[in-house]
Amino acid sequence: MMIAVDGFELGREAKGVGRVVRNLMEKLPDLLPGDRFLVFTKERIGTFTHPRTEERLLSWRGGYLRWQNGPLRKALKTANPDLLVASNYVLPLYCPWKSILIEHDISVISHPEWYPRRFALTRRYLVRRSLERAGLVVVPSTFTGDEIQAFFGTKSDKIKPLGWGIEDTFRRAPKEEVTKWRNRHGWAGKKVIGFLGSVFKRRHIPELIRAVGLLREDIPEAVLHLVGQDFGVLRAAGASVSKLPEWVLWQMSLPEKELPLFYSSVDAFAYLSEYEGFGFPPLEALACGTPSVLLNGSSLSEVFSGLAFMVDAPEPEAIAAALKTAVSDETKRSGLLSEYDRRKERFSWRRTARELAALIRSM
């Protein structure tokens, strides 16, 4: 069987959707030895070396939908695959091929207020159309599958929650490297709270800053290390790098290779997001030996049940209390990390790829 894969989001440092595609495509060919794979990309990747995997570059300067319904559609017509793995939320408008649709989340449908109105309306139409036409719909969590059923009435037997994995690069950094990192950032002797991700309103960073301020009343050495681009949230709150408290370090980004060191060097990770389809950053932190404080809801309460400190509302007092436990209660910290060790096979990309390969064989 010839399997075509939408690889638009692949890149040299793939994130989000691209990361899912990259990890699956590194393992699927070995699990499906009788099949060939065509991965269509917008830029040359050059990382797929399996003899039955071919990368095809489709140059295009426009956005994703133009690429998908222009160069990709034409290439698919020529290749005429037996199966299309549509990795990026929607199918091409013209799609006569058998297909598996990966729906990472439907925040644009469940929370249209977070997006420009025209984008939200267009995406709702395309997602509905895609869900109706796809052979199977793969989702990263039961939460996302339940939302799809609630908003679109998609039959439950068509929706397959797989769960995503964690790369082997995310593991505890050596103690000497952690010490150097903390010294370099001025965190020697401090209790460091970390956050990494885009700063959206739904992730409650202003509340986190206030919570760490409260935490400092009990633990004066507590500091906050924020990593992520601000999408107007901190600006709206009147914050900037120069106006943040001196105990807050804010960086726009970190090199990919430094992420395990960042997670290993903080004492607790805070990710107070009210909506996630899965939640990679808390899992990365956990794999590096750092427990998280999470908002109890969306997929986070499902994926991290028994694996994180939870707060029921993004209130600074509640967050501060959870952070205090996370950085000072060694028994509870050790219990969460031990539970992750017991369950970590569940967060294996090989396990995810194996379950996807079984779905492909069943079609």
pLDDT at 242: 56
pLDDT at 230: 86
The model's pLDDT over 332-355, given as tens digits with 9 standing for 90+, comes to: 999 999 999 999 999 999 999 999
The model's pLDDT over 280-303, given as tens digits with 9 standing for 90+, comes to: 999 999 999 999 999 999 999 999
Report the length, in residues, of the chain: 363
Ordered domains of the chain (ranges, CATH): 2-165+348-362 (3.40.50.2000), 175-346 (3.40.50.2000)
Q: Which stretches of the chain are assigned E, i.e. beta strand?
A: 2-6, 36-41, 53-57, 83-86, 99-102, 136-139, 159-161, 191-196, 222-227, 248-251, 268-271, 292-295, 309-311
The model's pLDDT over 309-325, given as tens digits with 9 standing for 90+, comes to: 999 999 999 999 999 99
pLDDT at 275: 96
Average pLDDT of the residues in 81-93:
97
For residues 4 and 24, what is the distance between their CA atoms, to the nearest angstrom?
13
pLDDT at 99: 98
For residues 178 and 49, what is the distance between their CA atoms, to the nearest angstrom?
34
- Percent of the chain scored above 90 by pLDDT? 88
- Percent of the chain scored above 70 by pLDDT? 97
pLDDT at 233: 78
Which tokens in the block code for residue 66? Answer: 């133009």
Q: Which amino acid is at 76?
A: L
Q: For all residues of the chain together, what is the average pLDDT?
A: 94
The model's pLDDT over 117-169, given as tens digits with 9 standing for 90+, comes to: 999 999 999 999 999 999 999 999 999 999 999 999 999 999 999 999 999 99
The model's pLDDT over 231-250, given as tens digits with 9 standing for 90+, comes to: 887 776 665 555 788 999 99
Average pLDDT of the residues in 73-93:
97
pLDDT at 240: 55
Nearest one of 270, 274, 312, 350 to 105, comparing CA atoms: 274
The model's pLDDT over 190-222, given as tens digits with 9 standing for 90+, comes to: 999 999 999 998 999 999 999 999 999 999 999
pLDDT at 83: 98
